[in-house]
C-alpha cells in the first residue's frame, strides 16, 4: 500500500511538472506506464472498498431464524451431524462406528471442539 501511495505521489508530482507531461503521440516513459497501471489498480481497489460498504437486506432470513428458533446454517445437509453442527454430538470422527472413517466432505471442514467449548 505504501509503495502504491508513493507511486501515486511520484506520478502526480511528475505530471504536475509541465516539461514531462505524458504525450499521447510520443513514446511513453516507463514510469508513466507504471503510473497508469497503478492508477488503474488503485481505482479498482477504491471501487472495491466502496462496494464493500453496501449491506444487502438480511431481514427476511433473520426474522425467519428468530421465528423458527433456528440454531444453524443450512450449508452442510449431507449428514445429520453436519446439518446442525451446534446441536450435534461433539464433532467426533468415527461416531457412526469404530472403523468408520469420516466419509462426508463436510466432516473434513469441521474441527474438533475445544475442551471448554461445550458444557457436556
Partner 1 sequence: MRAWIERQRCLIDFSVANLGRRKARNLGLLGAYILLVFLLASVVLYGDALRREARLLLADAPDIVVQRLSAGRHDLIAADRLDALRALRGVRRADGRLWGYHYDPTLAANTTLQVPLVNPPGPGETVLGATLARARGLNPGDTLALRGDDGAIRAFRITGLLSSASELVSADLMLVNEADYRAFFGIPAGFYTDLALTVGNPAEAGKIAEKILTRQPGSRVILKDEMRRTYDAVFNWRQGLLLTFLGTVLAAFALLAWDKASGLSAEERREIGILKAIGWETGDVMRMKFWEGALLSTCAFLAGYVLAYLHVFHGGGALFEPILKGWSVLYPKFTLTPQIDLMQLASLFFLSVLPYTAATLAPVWRAATLDPDEVMRE
Residue ranges binding partner 1 (CB under 8 A): 1, 3-4, 7, 10, 13-14, 17, 20, 29-31, 33-34, 37-38, 41-42, 44-45, 48-49, 51-52, 54-58, 60-62, 64-80, 83, 85-89, 104-106, 108-111, 113-114, 117-120
Tell me the closest approach of the beta carbon of residue 29 to partner 1, in angstroms: 5
Tell me the closest approach of the beta carbon of residue 99 to partner 1, in angstroms: 18
Nearest residue to 102 via CA among 72, 76, 67: 76
DSSP the chain: -HHHHHHHHHHHHHHTSGGG---SSSPPPHHHHHHHHHHHHHHHHHHHHHHTT-----HHHHHHHHHTT--S-SS--SSHHHHTTTTSSP--TT-S-TT----SHHHHH--PPPTTS---
Overall size of the chain counted in residues: 120
**With respect to partner 1, which residue has the nearer C-beta, 13 or 99?**
13
Tell me the closest approach of the beta carbon of residue 24 to partner 1, in angstroms: 18
Tell me the closest approach of the beta carbon of residue 105 to partner 1, in angstroms: 3
Amino acid at each position: 500500500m505504501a509503495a502504491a501511495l508513493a507511486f501515486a505521489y511520484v506520478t502526480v508530482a511528475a505530471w504536475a511538472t509541465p516539461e514531462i507531461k505524458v504525450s499521447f503521440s510520443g513514446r511513453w516513459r516507463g514510469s508513466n506506464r507504471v503510473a497508469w497501471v497503478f492508477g488503474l489498480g488503485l481505482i479498482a481497489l477504491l471501487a472495491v472498498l466502496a462496494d464493500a460498504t453496501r449491506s444487502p437486506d438480511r431481514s427476511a432470513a433473520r426474522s425467519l431464524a428468530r421465528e423458527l428458533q433456528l440454531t444453524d446454517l443450512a450449508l452442510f445437509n449431507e449428514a445429520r451431524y453436519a446439518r446442525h453442527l451446534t446441536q450435534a454430538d461433539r464433532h467426533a470422527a468415527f461416531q457412526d462406528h469404530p472403523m468408520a472413517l469420516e466419509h462426508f466432505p463436510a466432516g473434513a471442514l469441521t474441527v474438533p471442539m475445544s475442551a471448554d467449548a461445550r458444557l457436556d
